Amino acid sequence: MPSIPGGKATVTPYVVAHGADAFLAFIEKAFDADVYLRVPNPDGSIGHAEAKIGSSVLMTFDASPDWPPTPSFLSVYVDDVDATIDRAVSAGASIVTEVMESAITGDRGGRLRDPIGNVWWVQTHQRDVSPSEMQAAFGDHDELAKIRSAQVSFDTEMRSRRMTQPDAQPSPDPAFEAAYQAARKSFGEGGIPIGAALARDGVVIASGHNERVQNGDPIAHGEMAALRAAGRQKSYRDTTLYTTLAPCAMCTGTIIQFKIPRVVVGEARTFDGEFELLRSRGVEVVVLDDQRCVDMMRTFQEENPELWAEDIAE
């Protein structure tokens, strides 16, 4: 008799899920999983379930309501990573790391966060890489930048989960969340992690992030990028500008120039900005002191002191 049951591998992932039904529905839509076994508990929750994705078996069950989240990190190879990620996003996933090609692994892949919080590293293998090619790729600046982008985006995702702790405060509204996600995008690109969004009556008109590094534009601050993306507006007097970091003198001047009446700021601990000037001109300033923004900016400042000094002209 074989020591491993039919269909199983030596190691089989067992996902502890707060919402196993939702998890199974997600993998069916995203990865065309075949859910072939469900064993219910007396209360209707899932005591054990098994599904097959490609040649691999994945198991799951419902966590007890008083258990803490225990997210999994799962690597999966698929025939078409771009199509798979599109299906996953349609099924409720969020992008963690944008899809990129790696000369080091020969893969094209990206990361997702599924609706219950697991992270998936989704990849398509494009070619085999010899040891000499791999060694050469590790010396390539562009390849190293891709590695750094993948590391930073995953680090940002993990740090953002501090918000699930009991003493954390949720994001106040979708407009600020748009600004925060824009900052995360810039961070993942190796840029300065400052995002902004312009909203009217709670509806986001446009968002943007600092692009000084990405585009070589010295005045492409986050607030400027959001305003540029919003295009011409007949009036800004009924809008709110959301930004993850206290505005600098240049962005403050723009806010005053266009008579934007209210600014919501993620944090001012890592940079105190020009609040006094804004308030002296009648602008309402709301500071959220969002820990996610603090953590992200502190990480950037510690790792890129010269770039940060350049951004604030010090």
Q: What are the pLDDT digits (tens) for 226-278?
A: 999 999 999 999 999 999 999 999 999 999 999 999 999 999 999 999 999 99
Q: Return the closest-CA partner of residue 34 out of 17, 8, 14, 56.
A: 56
Q: Where are the domains of the chain?
A: 14-162, 174-312
Res. 152: pLDDT tops 90 = no
Res. 5: pLDDT tops 90 = no
- Express each pLDDT in 116-142 by its tens digit: 889 999 999 999 999 999 999 988 989
- Euclidean distance between CA atoms 134 and 107, whole angstroms: 12
- 110: its two tokens: 């990206």
- Residues linked to residue 206 through DSSP beta bridges, in sequence order: 198
Angle at 298 between CA 297 and CA 301, to 5 degrees: 85
Q: Which of 98-112, 144-158, 300-314 has the lowest mean pLDDT?
A: 300-314
CATH architecture of 174-312: 3-Layer(aba) Sandwich (3.40)
Mean pLDDT of the region 28-41: 96
CATH class name, domain 14-162? alpha beta
- Euclidean distance between CA atoms 151 and 159, whole angstroms: 12
Q: What is the pLDDT of residue 167?
A: 42
- 205: its two tokens: 């008109």
Mean pLDDT of the region 67-94: 93
Q: Which of 102-106, 227-231, 293-297, 306-310 has the lowest mean pLDDT?
A: 306-310
- Express each pLDDT in 191-229 by its tens digit: 999 999 999 988 899 999 999 999 999 899 999 999 999
**Same fold across 14-162 and 174-312:** no
User: Which residues are catalytically annotated?
Assistant: 223
Q: Which long-range contacts (CB under 8 A, 24 or more apart) does 84-88 make?
A: 84/30, 84/31, 84/122, 85/110, 85/112, 85/122, 87/29, 87/30, 88/26, 88/29, 88/30, 88/31, 88/112, 88/114, 88/120, 88/122
Query: What is the rounded average pLDDT for all residues in the chain?
Result: 90
Q: What is the pLDDT of residue 1?
A: 73
Res. 313: pLDDT tops 50 = yes
Q: What is the pLDDT of residue 171?
A: 52
Q: What is the pLDDT of residue 134?
A: 93
Mean pLDDT of the region 147-167: 72
Is residue 109 within 8 Å of residue 123, measured between CB atoms?
Answer: yes
Q: Which of 6-10, 184-188, 229-233, 262-266 has the lowest mean pLDDT?
A: 6-10
Q: Return the closest-CA partner of residue 123 out of 106, 137, 109, 142.
A: 109
- Express each pLDDT in 54-64 by its tens digit: 999 999 999 98
Is residue 17 within 8 Å of residue 60, measured between CB atoms?
Answer: yes
Q: What is the pLDDT of residue 100?
A: 95
Give the alpha-carbon dihedral of 94, 183, 242, 269, to 10 degrees.
Answer: 130
